[in-house]
Amino acid sequence: MKKTKLLVAPNSMKGSLSALDFANAIGEGVKEAGVSEIVKIPLADGGDGTATVLAAYYDARYVSCEVHDPLMRIIDSGYFIAGDIAIIEMAMASGLKLLSPGEYSPMKATSFGTGELICQAVKNGAKEIILCVGGSATVDAGMGALMALGIKFFNGREFLQTADGENMANVVSIDSSEAVGFLDGIELKILCDVKNPLLGPKGAAKVFAPQKGADGQIVNRLSKNLSLWAGVLCQETGIDVSLMESGGAAGGIVASFSALFNAVLIDGASFLLDKTGFYEKAKWADFIITGEGKIDKSTLHGKLPGAVLNFGMKIDKPVIGICGFNALTGNAGFYRIFSLTDNVREIENTMSYAYEKVLSLVRKEIGKELYE
């Protein structure tokens, strides 16, 4: 048998396995196949689970608090803090995972709870906010979060009481002075996992609203509302956010925070790879295994496994991908891609037993790849 040094560096398998559990299942399987030199790095790219992954590397503690969910119901949530650095995950307050499929409502869903988490962290002494924005239920351009932070919205002389995807269209002017003052001296970093702009055919409404429950009519209304919102932002700040890269992430919150608070936008995958020491460990390895729930074209454009693959190709190290379902027609640079199912109808059932299925796949298939 050939002695193999293996780096296991997956994202989460959304809806079924955390990045840590995914890495552990792979590690357990390859050990049984005879691989002994294994390094596991659970990873993320700004989406669900990113805060938990980062918290381990920052040695951050969890702070629990009550906030409003996307439909303005009080829920238990929280954030991580290490010294004066707070790590906040939008999905923990405004995430799609907090709703049942029957509750998906991108016109009514609000990011208010995310703003509440930021407020809590600042009041707790945070001077740097790392905001992970993937997995939101919202297409409100962050209007809800902005309201929670103290921004006032007006329809002419009337003060608006509700901040959501529908009410974006009613905003004529805003008063951001209170929020800007509150965040004065706070460094706001946003980790993004997509590069889509706010508007256009690849914008927040067209691409992401259908995933959050929007039909064609609602998509068109949200597109119009976001366009009106961009005009108000430009009027307030002098900044045109309509086509800025990543401005459409998380329903457009990135565009608003960038224009109003000068937030720094960071590629989530690159940030995590650097923070976890991935690059040096990849040079040590003979093989790299990564993965996520679904490997498709978006994997290659900003998602974590795509970033792992790009670096593996750069240093001439074979990268194996594991996923629940593979939507690519070729390997796209991967040494091999293994999926837990080839039948899209079986995805839900497969995800219910993801740990066992990953373990079985690794035992049967990947061990051979490492030694043949």
pLDDT tens per residue across span 209-219: 999 999 999 99
pLDDT tens per residue across span 59-98: 999 999 999 999 999 999 999 999 999 999 999 999 999 9
CA atoms within 13 A on the CB side of 283: 3
pLDDT tens per residue across span 259-318: 999 999 999 999 999 999 999 999 999 999 999 999 998 888 878 999 999 999 999 999
For residue 349, give every residue at least 6 positions away whose Cβ sits within 8 Å of its Cβ, in sequence order, or none: none
Other C-beta atoms within 10 Å of 232: how many? 18
Name the packing angle between helices 50-58 and 268-275 (round to 10°): 30
Q: Given this model, what pLDDT does residue 241 score?
A: 96
191, two tokens: 């980790």
CATH for 282: 3.40.50.10350
Place of tokens 């193999």: 4
Both 93 and 232 in one domain: the answer is yes
217, two tokens: 């009519």
Both 132 and 57 in one domain: the answer is yes
Q: Which of 98, 309, 74, 289 minimizes the C-alpha distance to 212? A: 98
Looking at the whole model, is its pTM more than 0.85? yes
The rounded percent of the chain whose pLDDT value lies above 70 is: 98
Cα distance between residue 273 and residue 42, in whole Å: 10
Spell out the alpha helix ranges (H) of the chain: 19-32, 50-58, 91-94, 112-123, 143-148, 177-182, 216-237, 253-261, 268-275, 278-284, 304-314, 347-352, 354-361, 367-371
Residue 202: pLDDT band (50, 70, 90) is very high
Residue 174 above 90 pLDDT? yes
Both 94 and 243 in one domain: the answer is yes
Strands 85-89 and 74-82: antiparallel
Both 27 and 125 in one domain: the answer is no
Q: Given this model, what pLDDT does residue 11 score?
A: 94
Q: Which of 155, 311, 312, 121 minimizes the C-alpha distance to 228? A: 155
Domain count, the chain: 2
Both 153 and 262 in one domain: the answer is yes
Both 162 and 246 in one domain: the answer is yes
Both 259 and 286 in one domain: the answer is no
CATH for 101: 3.90.1510.10
Residue 323 above 90 pLDDT? yes
Both 231 and 314 in one domain: the answer is no
Pair 299, 292: CB distance under 8 Å: yes
Q: Residue range 30-57: average pLDDT?
A: 89
Residue 192 above 80 pLDDT? yes
Place of tokens 């990873």: 43
Both 205 and 97 in one domain: the answer is yes
Domain span including residue 317: 5-43+276-371
Q: Which of 218, 239, 268 is the last residue of a domain?
A: 268
Cα distance between residue 29 and residue 8, in whole Å: 11
Q: Given this model, what pLDDT does residue 342 score?
A: 82
305, two tokens: 């496994």
